Amino acid sequence: MIGIFDSGLGGLTVARAIMATLPGYDIVYFGDTARTPYGSKSRETVSRYAIENTHFLMENGAKIVVIACNSASSVATKQLTGKFTIPLFEVITPAAELSVSVSTKTRIGVIGTRATINSGIYEEKIKKINPAAKVYSAACPLLVPLVEEGWLKKPETRMIIKKYLIPLKARQIDTLILGCTHYPLLKDDIQRKIGKKVSVIDSSLAVAANVKAYLDQHPETDASLSRSGKADFFVSDITDHFEKIANSVLKQKISLNHILL
Amino acid sequence: MIGIFDSGLGGLTVARAIMATLPGYDIVYFGDTARTPYGSKSRETVSRYAIENTHFLMENGAKIVVIACNSASSVATKQLTGKFTIPLFEVITPAAELSVSVSTKTRIGVIGTRATINSGIYEEKIKKINPAAKVYSAACPLLVPLVEEGWLKKPETRMIIKKYLIPLKARQIDTLILGCTHYPLLKDDIQRKIGKKVSVIDSSLAVAANVKAYLDQHPETDASLSRSGKADFFVSDITDHFEKIANSVLKQKISLNHILL
């Protein structure tokens, strides 16, 4: 199966993109809702959680694992690749590559959680591809709780998005990376506030394309993945509210299975 | 020592109130920053965390424990009192009692996290004191992240407070309980939006008075508490941002000690 984990339910945007890009492939999702969010926590704590989550997915049949969380991708990828031998996919590199390829003036903005932005990883990845690129970042820590509350399309959310984007607008970016798996749910408002000329990069779509490309090039890994169209969703805590969010992100009714890590 | 725990750093408002009400008493504080927040998580998960936190405080010298978190007080107090024999103090009862005593028309509003409001505990406690009381509640889940971001006195925060208070204003409450240990930091704006005629009850002050009254009545417990003016602060995760918030809540520079639970 394709394993996918996130700090909570934002990573379902990645699950949704993978299910659309690789229809029929079985997936197993884990959302760490008992310890969510990761974006304001330390590198050490997020890495510890990421290792536990990867173990859990492998025990439940994952042959490849997608880190569907920018915060965990930013601070834990090195530790995970040092510890596990299965193919691991993070959400940073595909979005960084895509941003460089679509950017016309290589003035690239990145928004994300505090953990992601403080790690400086997007800048590092983008400059590895194009050392002349200008990269401007802004931490937007309130957008995750706003999405998790379902405050989409509300005036308060729009004001907060506008405030966060002011420094990036001032830098005249031509491309903006949504560096958090929650943000695709706010994409329309973000596009409106940053301006319609700016290309907005959705990392969930970029990582799904990346997984597909890898499987095309690695038929033996591809053959190891089951394809019965099954999708299992596990969470470390469950409430009615979490179920509502999950259904709204995936636009279908799913059942969340509660497990203790 | 007096043990105090919270899901994170909001409970420092309670520590601050206890240090002011009982000067010189030693305190040991634990903030579960690696798993914060509790307010959107389930009863089972919050209870499990509360038991672990209480164990930790007792191992570190606590002879009495204050549950400085409304979410944990709401859903875990019964389990904790069944499991531990030391005196335990929760933040709900003192605030409920104070609200009934100051309310003139017994139209009482309560704001808190989703866990606290869904538990219905304030209504239950208030109606036990005065069965004729009218109690109106509103969950305000975005106020905790706004406080943790330090977005005090910002227009967006004021708009969100106003929106949350609309249903309570419509009910013409005369008293409003701040049913979350983060909210005292927003007290001025909450008072302004609900109107100056409404009495706003700060549960951190109410619980500090409650602890003092208990110690006055139980000299043997009082004698068991050390009084060298020491205050130890432990957290399960540490970042620069957490240190900044802690210093700003306590209005003094403290050092946070990181421990793994």
Could you state, in order of their start, the residue ranges of all structural domains in chain A?
2-90+205-258, 92-203
pLDDT value at residue A29 = 98
**Model ipTM over 0.95:** no
Q: In what order do the strands lie in the sheet with A64-67?
A: A88-90, A64-67, A2-6, A27-31, A231-235, A256-258
Would you state the pLDDT for residue A144? Answer: 93
CB contacts, 8 Å: A140 with chain B: none
* Separation between Cα atoms, residue A4 and residue A20, nearest integer Å: 14
pLDDT (0 to 100) of residue A134: 98
pLDDT, tens only, A97-120? 999 999 999 999 999 999 999 999
DSSP at A171? T
Cross-chain residue pair B142–A141, CB shorter than 8 Å: no
Element (H, E) at A222: helix A219-224
Alpha-carbon gap, residue B189 to A142, rounded angstroms: 19
* Cross-chain Cβ contact A42/B239 below 8 Å: yes
For chain B, say whether A259 makes contact (Cβ under 8 Å): no
Tens digit of each residue's pLDDT, chain B (261 residues): 999 999 999 999 999 999 999 999 999 999 999 999 999 999 999 999 999 999 999 999 999 999 999 999 999 999 999 999 999 999 999 999 999 999 999 999 999 999 999 999 999 999 999 999 999 999 999 999 999 888 999 999 999 999 999 999 999 999 999 999 999 999 999 999 999 999 999 999 999 999 999 999 999 999 999 999 999 999 999 999 899 989 988 988 999 999 998
Q: Does B35 touch chain A (CB under 8 A)?
A: yes
- Tens place of pLDDT per residue across chain A (261 aa): 999 999 999 999 999 999 999 999 999 999 999 999 999 999 999 999 999 999 999 999 999 999 999 999 999 999 999 999 999 999 999 999 999 999 999 999 999 999 999 999 999 999 999 999 999 999 999 999 999 888 999 999 999 999 999 999 999 999 999 999 999 999 999 999 999 999 999 999 999 999 999 999 999 999 999 999 999 999 999 999 899 989 988 988 999 999 998
**What amino acid positions of A are annotated as catalytic residues?**
69, 180
Specify the pLDDT at position B135: 98
Distance CA A18, CA A5 (A): 13
**pLDDT tens profile A138-186:** 999 999 999 988 899 999 999 999 999 999 999 999 999 999 999 999 9
CATH number of A2-90+205-258: 3.40.50.1860
The pLDDT of residue B44 is 96
Catalytic residue among B69, B80, B139, B200: B69
A107 C-beta neighbours (distance < 10 Å), count: 17
Assign a CATH topology to domain B92-203: Rossmann fold (3.40.50)
Edge to edge, the sheet with strand B27-31 lists B88-90, B64-67, B2-6, B27-31, B231-235, B256-258
- The pLDDT score that the predictor gives to residue A83 is 97
Which residue in B has a C-alpha nearest to residue A114's C-alpha?
B241
Length of chain B: 261
Same CATH topology for B2-90+205-258 and B92-203: the answer is: yes
> Mind spelling out the 3-state secondary structure of chain B?
CEEEEECCCCCHHHHHHHHHHCCCCCEEEEECCCCCCCCCCCHHHHHHHHHHHHHHHHHCCCCEEEECCHHHHHHHHHHHHHHCCCCEEECHHHHHHHHHHHCCCCEEEEEECHHHHHHCHHHHHHHHHCCCCEEEEEECCCHHHHHHCCCCCCHHHHHHHHHHHHHHHHCCCCEEEEECCCHHHHHHHHHHHHCCCCEEEEHHHHHHHHHHHHHHHCHHHHHHCCCCCCEEEEECCCCHHHHHHHHHHHCCCCCEEECCC
Residues 6+ apart with CB under 8 A from B89: B64, B65, B66, B67, B207, B210, B211, B214
Residues of chain A with Cβ-Cβ distance to B142 below 8 Å are 142, 145-146, 149, 151
Please tell me which of the candidates B41, B141, B237 has its beta carbon nearest to residue A45: B237
Is residue A151 within 8 angstroms of chain B, CB to CB? yes
A152/B contact by beta carbon, under 8 A: no
Q: Among B234, B230, B240, which Cα is nearest to B261's?
A: B234
